[in-house]
Chain A
Amino acid sequence: MSIYDHIDQMRLDALKEMGNIGAGNAATSISMMLDKKVDINVPDVKLIPLSKLWEIFEDPEEVVSGAMIGVGGDLSGAILFLMHSESIKKLLELMMLPRPEDLTQLDEITRSAIGELGNIMCSSYVVSLSNFTGMNIHSLPPNVVVDMIAAIVSEVSLITTEGDDYIILIETNMKVEDNIDISGYIIYIPDQESIMRIFKQIGLEIKDE
């Protein structure tokens, strides 16, 4: 029996709330940077077998750009910040950067800007996670990635869970307002150990049978 059999609605809701706080803070920091209103939706928590992962995407082969930020300290896993190609270009323009023609051929400045965006969002996510759980957590340097969405998410799941059969995705969509259509995802993929620690910390401990 794995811990995933113990994850009931209440525990899923707890993770959802955690994602909400994290993404809320991430949206606030990006909103402050851009001086624009940023909306987030209620996060979605998915507990799915790795082999069914491709099914959750509308278009698994859609090309997205973003950054993976590892989580270190008391928790591990990774946070992904992903955006559609057009969204990330508009966002870079809002940051007064030149609009990249081709995201698959990133120059050093654009690459570093995308990494920094990921860094800002994910660090605020991590800080609020740390406040929420009272644990000592920090974020690691970003890895910029441009590829098919299903491949990115499964690759990160693979790296963080080291081949577990199930993964938990805490996913939030965000949208920059002001008539500019900029939207993206923030996805936290914790490993099994981290999930146990989170539940223990917030009083929903899963006891070993």
Chain B
Amino acid sequence: MNKKIIGIGEYAASSGDAILVTLGLGSCVGVCIRDKKNMIGGMVHVMLPDSGGKENAKPGKYADTGLMLVLDEMKKIGSSSFNLEAKIAGGAAMFGNSSKTMDIGQRNIEAVKNMLKKNNIKIISEDVGGNRARSIEYSISSGELMIKKVGGGEKVELFKI
């Protein structure tokens, strides 16, 4: 199996049997996009909602620029721009809504949803919000998104969306 781990603010696109993984999504949002017909998928680990239009060394961090980058990357390896489906996870408020965090999670979720809508990409499932962090694994061939989250009994819960 071909697993690829994506760090904070990074993105990747791949095809075939690849599995895209990202760890420790707190207020960050993991956006998974797939072209079912051509078996091409991509993932971006979005950290902040808006780049403010500025040039940045790490454009993958932001919802607006990050999503465009991953779509470009997918196109490069043969994905079409139509009939894309998306799954999103993350956007938790791990420390409650203290003023310092300004509810980045919720803003990230909204920004990601707006960007997906603008690009006519349908969200087919999501697991967002709450106050627990997530780790996600996205299988490009099956389109399944495995989510790990700390649940009751100090165990890490595993479920599919």
Contacts and interface: CB of A to CB of B under 8 A. Distances in A.
A163 B47 contact: yes
Contacts, number: 100
B101 A104 contact: no
A104 B154 contact: yes
Nearest to B133: A151
Interface stretch (B25-33, B77-85, B111-119, B121-129): B25-33
Contact of B24 (A52, A103, A151, A165): A151
B94 A104 contact: no
A61 interface: yes
A51 B95 contact: no
A145 B156 contact: no
Contact of A152 (B58, B133, B151): B133
A68 B98 CA distance: 12
B135 interface: yes
Contact count band on A: 20 to 34
B34 interface: no
Nearest to B98: A143
A155 interface: yes
A63 interface: yes
B14 to A, nearest CB: 17
A182 B10 CA distance: 36
B100 A104 contact: no
Contacts of B25: 151
Contacts of A152: 24, 26, 94, 133
- Top 10 nearest A-B pairs by Cβ distance? A151-B133, A51-B7, A155-B26, A151-B24, A150-B24, A143-B95, A54-B23, A50-B8, A147-B133, A60-B23
